[in-house]
C-alpha cells in the first residue's frame, strides 16, 4: 500500500522557439517540482526538442508510448495539454487509445486535472477542442503572409521552378529553350497524340530532359503556363509571362479530363479498354454490368463474348451485340442532336439536381462562414474568462464547426458544378468545329469528355452525359 506513484514525464517545444512561453528546461523543472510535492517517482522524462505538436511523428513521444507497454507506470505527466498535441484528434487518440487503454492516467499541471478523476476525463475532450482551435489560428496567421504573396502573383516553389522557367531573385523568367518544348507538348496533344507517343517524340528530339509520361501529363495540367500561380488550393494571376495561350490551355483541359484519358494514362497498348475504336471504354452492359469490347466488327459484352475471363461478370449474359459502325453513328448523331437542341442542353445543365441546388448564393455562404469564425473566437474568449459553463461552450463549438463543414461542402459542390457545365458546353462547341478533322485518338477523347458511359439493354441505347 506504500508503493510510490510511478510516472513518466513528457516535454516538447516546437521548431519556432520564439512562439513558446516555456523552454524545455522550465518544463522539466516544473514537472520535477510537481512530482516532488506529490511524493511521486518521476522515472524518466521524454524530450522532443524542435518538433511540432501538429502530428505524432516525434521520436521521444513514440519511444514513450512503446515503453508504456513494457514498464508498469501509473501516469504520464506534462506541463500543459498542448505539449502532448495541438490536434484534437491526436490528443484524444493518445490519451484514450495509448494511455488509458494501458491503464495509464494522464495529468496536466497547467490545466490542473488528471484522468484518474471523472471530471478530469470529461475535461480532456473539452480542452483538446480549444487546443485545436489555437493551432488553427496559429497556422492561419503563419500563412497570411504567403497568401499575400500569392495574391500579388509571386511563385511559391522557390528553387523548384516549373520546367519552362528559371527562378531568379524571387521571379519566374521564361527559359526560351524549355518553353519551346512545353509548347510542342501542347501542340502534339491537341493534334491527338497519346501521352506515350508524346513522350517518345520528346525523348527523341530533346536530350536535356528525361521526358516521361508523368512529366507530359503534369505540363498539360499546370496552369503556371497561362500565367497563374497557386497557393493552398487558390489560383491567382501571376507576375510571370505566360508560355501558353489561355484558350489553348482550356482546350487541352477539355480533352484531358475524360474517363478514357484517365484510364489510359501509362498503360500499355495491350490494355483491354484501349482499343482502336471510337467508343472503347465507354460501353457497359445494363444486364450484367460488364464492359463491352470491340472485336470482329461488333461491340460485345465481355460476359457474353468471354474474350477476357477476368472481365466476365455473368457467363450466362445474352445481351445484344452491336455493329461498331452503327453504334458509333448513333452516338455521334446523338451528340450532334444535342448541339442543335438548346432546350435539351438547358435541361441537362439546370435540372440535374432537385430544387436547383446549383443556384446557391455563394456570397451568403462566405459571409456566414466569416460569421462562424468570429463566433468561435468569441467562444475562446468566454472559455478563458470562465463566464459560461463548459458543457454549453462545447455544445456551441460543435454546432458551429458542423455548420461550417456543411457550408464548405456546398460551396465546393457549387464550384465543381459550375466548372463542369462550362467545360461541357465548350466541348460541344469544339465537337461541332473540329470533330471531322480530328484523328481517331482525338475523336475518342472528345467523345469521352462529353459522355460518361453508354449502357446497352438489348436494342436500346442509353447515354449518360458527363454532367
- Grid cell, residue 262, equals 484517365
DSSP string, 113-171: EETTSHHHHHHHHHHHHHHHHHHHHHHHHHHHHHHHHHHTT--S-TT-PPTTEEEETTE
CB 313 within 8 A of CB 320: no
For residue 77, give the DSSP letter: E
Q: Is 14 a catalytic residue?
A: yes
In the predicted structure, residue 153 carries a pLDDT above the cut 90: no
Q: Would you place residue 260 in the very low, low, confident or very high pLDDT band (cuts 50, 70, 90)?
A: very low
For residue 354, give the DSSP letter: G
Residues paired with 174 in a beta bridge: 165
Amino acid 450: pLDDT: 85
Residues paired with 230 in a beta bridge: 235
In the predicted structure, residue 442 carries a pLDDT above the cut 60: yes
- Grid cell, residue 244, equals 501558353
Nearest to 185 by CA among 154, 213, 143, 224: 213
Amino acid 16: pLDDT: 52
In the predicted structure, residue 288 carries a pLDDT above the cut 90: yes
Q: Would you place residue 160 in the very low, low, confident or very high pLDDT band (cuts 50, 70, 90)?
A: confident
Which of 297-311, 345-359, 432-446 shows the highest mean pLDDT? 297-311
Strands 322-323 and 298-301: antiparallel
How many angstroms separate the CA atoms of 197 and 32, rounded?
68
In the predicted structure, residue 271 carries a pLDDT above the cut 50: no
CATH architecture of 165-256: Alpha-Beta Complex (3.90)
Which of 181-185, 188-192, 355-359, 416-420 shows the highest mean pLDDT? 181-185
Amino acid 264: pLDDT: 46
CB 368 within 8 A of CB 329: no
Q: Would you place residue 232 in the very low, low, confident or very high pLDDT band (cuts 50, 70, 90)?
A: low
Render pLDDT for 216-225 as a digit per residue (tens, 0 to 9). Answer: 999 999 999 9
Can you give the residue ranges of every domain in the chain? 6-142, 165-256, 283-465
From the candidates 14, 87, 281, 305, give the one annotated as an active-site residue: 14
More confident residue, 197 or 424: 197
Hey, which CATH number is domain 6-142, 3.20.20.80, 3.40.50.1390, 3.30.70.600, 3.20.20.70? 3.40.50.1390
Amino acid 6: pLDDT: 95
Q: H or E element: which one contains 54?
A: none
> Cα torsion for 435, 441, 447, 448, to the nearest 10°?
-160
Mean pLDDT of 245-257: 82
Q: H or E element: which one contains 236?
A: strand 234-237
Alpha-helical (H) ranges within 268-323 are 302-305
CB 246 within 8 A of CB 263: no
In the predicted structure, residue 67 carries a pLDDT above the cut 90: yes
Which of 248-262, 282-296, 429-443 shows the highest mean pLDDT? 282-296
Residues paired with 463 in a beta bridge: 454
Angle between helix axes 324-340 and 342-350 (nearest 10 degrees) is: 90
Amino acid at each position: 500500500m506504500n508503493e510510490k506513484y510511478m510516472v513518466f514525464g513528457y516535454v516538447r517545444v516546437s521548431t519556432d522557439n520564439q512562439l513558446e512561453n516555456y523552454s524545455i528546461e522550465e518544463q522539466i523543472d516544473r514537472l520535477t517540482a510537481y512530482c516532488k510535492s506529490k511524493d511521486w517517482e518521476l522515472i524518466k522524462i521524454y524530450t522532443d526538442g524542435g518538433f511540432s505538436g501538429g502530428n505524432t511523428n516525434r521520436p521521444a513521444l513514440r519511444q514513450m508510448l512503446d515503453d508504456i507497454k513494457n514498464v508498469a507506470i501509473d501516469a504520464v505527466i506534462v506541463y500543459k495539454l498542448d505539449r502532448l498535441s495541438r490536434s484534437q484528434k491526436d490528443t484524444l487518440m493518445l490519451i484514450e487509445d495509448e494511455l488509458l487503454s494501458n491503464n495509464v492516467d494522464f495529468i496536466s499541471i497547467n490545466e490542473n486535472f488528471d484522468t484518474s478523476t471523472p471530471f478530469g476525463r470529461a475535461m480532456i475532450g473539452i480542452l483538446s477542442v480549444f487546443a485545436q482551435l489555437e493551432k488553427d489560428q496559429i497556422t492561419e496567421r503563419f500563412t497570411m503572409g504567403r497568401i499575400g504573396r500569392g495574391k500579388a502573383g509571386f511563385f511559391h516553389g522557390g528553387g523548384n521552378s516549373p520546367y519552362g522557367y528559371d527562378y531568379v531573385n524571387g521571379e519566374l523568367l521564361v527559359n526560351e529553350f524549355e518553353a519551346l518544348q512545353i509548347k510542342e507538348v501542347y501542340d502534339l496533344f491537341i493534334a491527338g497524340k497519346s501521352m506515350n507517343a508524346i513522350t517518345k517524340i520528346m525523348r527523341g528530339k530533346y536530350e536535356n530532359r528525361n521526358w516521361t509520361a508523368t512529366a507530359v501529363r503534369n505540363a498539360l495540367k499546370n496552369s503556371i503556363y497561362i500565367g497563374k500561380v497557386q497557393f493552398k488550393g487558390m489560383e491567382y494571376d501571376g507576375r510571370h509571362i505566360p508560355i501558353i495561350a489561355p484558350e489553348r490551355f482550356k482546350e487541352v483541359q477539355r480533352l484531358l479530363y475524360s474517363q478514357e484519358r484517365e484510364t489510359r494514362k501509362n498503360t500499355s497498348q495491350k490494355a483491354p479498354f484501349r482499343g482502336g475504336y471510337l467508343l472503347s471504354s465507354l460501353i457497359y452492359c445494363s444486364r450484367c454490368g460488364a464492359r463491352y469490347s470491340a472485336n470482329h466488327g461488333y461491340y460485345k459484352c465481355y460476359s457474353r463474348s468471354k474474350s477476357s475471363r477476368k472481365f466476365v461478370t455473368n457467363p450466362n449474359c445474352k445481351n445484344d451485340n452491336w455493329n461498331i459502325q452503327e453504334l458509333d453513328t448513333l452516338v455521334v448523331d446523338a451528340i450532334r442532336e444535342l448541339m442543335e437542341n438548346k432546350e435539351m442542353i438547358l435541361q441537362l445543365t439546370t435540372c440535374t439536381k432537385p430544387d436547383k441546388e446549383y443556384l446557391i448564393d455563394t456570397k451568403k455562404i462566405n459571409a456566414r462562414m466569416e460569421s462562424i469564425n468570429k463566433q468561435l473566437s468569441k467562444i475562446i474568449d468566454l472559455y478563458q474568462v470562465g463566464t459560461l459553463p463548459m458543457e454549453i461552450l462545447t455544445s456551441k463549438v460543435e454546432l458551429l464547426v458542423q455548420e461550417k463543414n456543411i457550408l464548405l461542402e456546398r460551396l465546393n459542390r457549387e464550384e465543381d458544378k459550375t466548372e463542369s457545365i462550362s467545360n461541357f458546353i465548350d466541348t460541344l462547341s469544339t465537337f461541332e468545329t473540329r470533330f471531322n478533322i480530328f484523328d481517331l485518338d482525338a475523336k475518342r477523347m472528345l467523345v469521352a469528355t462529353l459522355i460518361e458511359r453508354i449502357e446497352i439493354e438489348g436494342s436500346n441505347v442509353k447515354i449518360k452525359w458527363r454532367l
